[in-house]
């Protein structure tokens, strides 16, 4: 019986990287998202905060989410490409 190599494309580490990039893009896309008050009402110059608070890519919360994604993907990657 001959040896058969089985590989997965993309590799599981690449899948993890892709999901982490999705998170990065989501964070970047909501950066500086205006508060609804600034869109609905004419005179809101006196509001101190004009954008919705969002996380930044370097925050610990984001790193924890990315690590959870890596864990889930790797736990579901039974096969020869580990």
Domain ranges for the chain, please list them. 12-75
pLDDT surpasses 80 at 80:
no
> What pTM does this model have?
0.69
Q: What is the pLDDT of residue 28?
A: 93
pLDDT tops 70 at residue 79 = no
Say how far apart CA 31 and CA 48 lie, in whole Å: 17
Residue 56 to residues 26, 33, 34, 36, 77: CA-CA distances in angstroms? Answer: 10, 13, 16, 21, 29
More confident residue, 33 or 69: 69
pLDDT tens track for 19-52: 999 999 999 998 888 877 777 766 656 666 778 8
- Dihedrals φ, ψ of 35, to 5°? -70, 150
């Amino acid at each position: 019986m001959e040896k058969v190599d089985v590989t997965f494309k993309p590799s599981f580490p690449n899948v993890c990287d892709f999901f982490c990039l999705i998170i990065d893009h989501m964070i970047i896309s909501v950066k500086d998202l205006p508060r609804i008050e600034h869109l609905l009402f004419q005179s809101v110059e006196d509001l101190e905060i004009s954008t919705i608070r969002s996380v930044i890519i370097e925050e610990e919360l984001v790193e924890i989410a990315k690590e959870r994604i890596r864990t889930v993907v790797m736990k579901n990657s039974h096969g020869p490409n580990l």
